[in-house]
Amino acid sequence: MKKTSLKDIAQKAGVSTALVSYVLNGKEKETRVGEVIAKKVREIAKELNYQPNHLAKSLRSGKTHTIGLIIADISNPFFANIARVVEDEAKRNGYTVIIGSCDENADKSWDLLNVLINRQVDGFIIVSCEGSENQIQYLKERNLPFVLLDRHFPDIQTDFVATNNYKASYDAGIHLIKSGYERIGLIAYKSEMYHMVERIRGYKYALSDNNIEFESNWLKEVMFENMEQDVKTAIDELLASEHKVEALIFATYGLAINGLKYINELRLKVPSDLAIVSFGQAEVFDLYYCPITYLRQPLELLGKTSVEYLLKKLKNPDEGMKQILMEAKLIARDSSMAKSVWLAE
């Protein structure tokens, strides 16, 4: 049995499809449809359980009520959760989301973008990956609406909703220093992405603002593609006796996971052998034998705001540019316990 269409209703009511369309779109007033017949049409529509055909509507209107969400790495629970928030918020507004993960790969991101453009999504929310600046430029040139989420490019003027990574990282450093640690390392990705650059900058400033001279071998930048091995090497080096660090900041969730695994292997005790603060958030941090201090980003708010701004742009293409930085919150746990506390034990 086929779906009921406007035509079916029109036939049954003995009127034209135009009239049915007017009634069901609440345009009876403007188009002067008779009350009696309007009521009849509505009844028949209900009776036949009429559901408008999205495709036909979209074809006509050019609007699909669909948002394309491109995520740099969906296996990261932070992103997975943000995807969920975006999906929920979009649904609340009558939009459907098509999600794609590019796995930090610009080529894959480009493919995804094309699939989504082809599907005629109305707009994009994008967590960019390294080397995808050209894609953002492309969207700008083609005048396709989008909002960057969590990551942005300072050299490209775009809307974005992101975390203040400088501040977050600075806070992490300050927190460790206040807890009595001085030799503090940072494991980050080797990347030119702005969020990473900012995390490194914040860390350095936290040190220098507290008269701790930054030592270049406290900073380890590892390759995403070779993370597991690189993190091990980095930790080995950070713990080599000459410049042994007593605390360590992980610039991402993935780095923390790999780092903690290795720290376990080495049978190092957190925080007495090595204090830890990490970006990202996940159940692991709670469950670790010594719960991990982490920077909680305003996940819900980031996701919701990005949807909100995108939808605003869709409604009004001339909407002004929005560039929002939100603050992360440091959640202090035992992994960065004040040095004095465990020294006393």
Partner DNA sequence: TAAAAATGCTTAATCGATTAATGAACAACC
Partner DNA sequence: GGTTGTTCATTAATCGATTAAGCATTTTTA
Q: Which residues bind a copy of itself (CB under 8 A)?
A: 51, 53-56, 58-59, 64, 74-75, 77, 80-81, 84, 87, 91, 96-101, 115, 117-120, 257, 260-261, 264, 282-284, 286-289
Picked from a copy of itself, DNA, none, the partner binding residue 120 (CB below 5 to 8 A depending on kind) is a copy of itself
SS3 332: coil
Question: Strand (E) positions, the chain?
Answer: 66-71, 96-101, 123-126, 146-150, 160-163, 184-189, 219-222, 247-250, 275-279, 293-296, 323-326, 329-331
Shortest reach from residue 27's CB to DNA, in Å: 7
User: Whose Cβ is closer to a copy of itself: residue 174's or residue 266's?
Assistant: 266
CB nearer to DNA: give 32 or 267: 32
State the Cα torsion 19-23-27-29 to the nearest 10°. 90
Interface residues with DNA (CB under 7 A) are 2-3, 5-7, 14-19, 21-22, 24-25, 27, 31-34, 36-38, 50-53, 55-57, 59-62
CB 275 within 8 A of CB 55: no
Report strand pairing: 96-101 vs 184-189. unpaired
Q: Which is nearer to a copy of itself, 135 or 169 (CB)?
A: 135
Q: How far is the CB of 44 from DNA (least distance, A)?
A: 13
Q: For DNA, give the closer residue by CB, 59 or 341.
A: 59
Strands 160-163, 323-326: pairing is parallel
Say which residue the tokens 């269409």 belong to. 5
**25 vs 157, beta carbon nearer DNA:** 25
Query: Token pair of 259, please?
Result: 């780092």
Which of DNA, a copy of itself, none sits in contact with 32, Cβ below 5 to 8 A by type? DNA
24 binds, among DNA, a copy of itself, none (CB under 5 to 8 A by kind): DNA
DSSP states of 51-113: ---HHHHHHHHS---EEEEEES-TTSHHHHHHHHHHHHHHHHTT-EEEEEE-TT-HHHHHHHH
- Lookup: tokens for 157: 């003027």
CB of 40 to DNA, least distance (A): 9
Give 57 or 244: the residue with its C-beta nearer to DNA: 57
Closest approach, Cβ 32 to a copy of itself, in A, equals 30
Rounded to the nearest whole angstrom, what is the least distance from the CB of residue 283 to a copy of itself in the complex?
A: 5
- 293-296/146-150 β-pairing: unpaired
Name the binder of 257 from DNA, a copy of itself, none, CB < 5-8 A by kind.
a copy of itself
Q: Which residues, in sequence order, are CB contacts of 226 under 8 Å at separation 6+? A: none
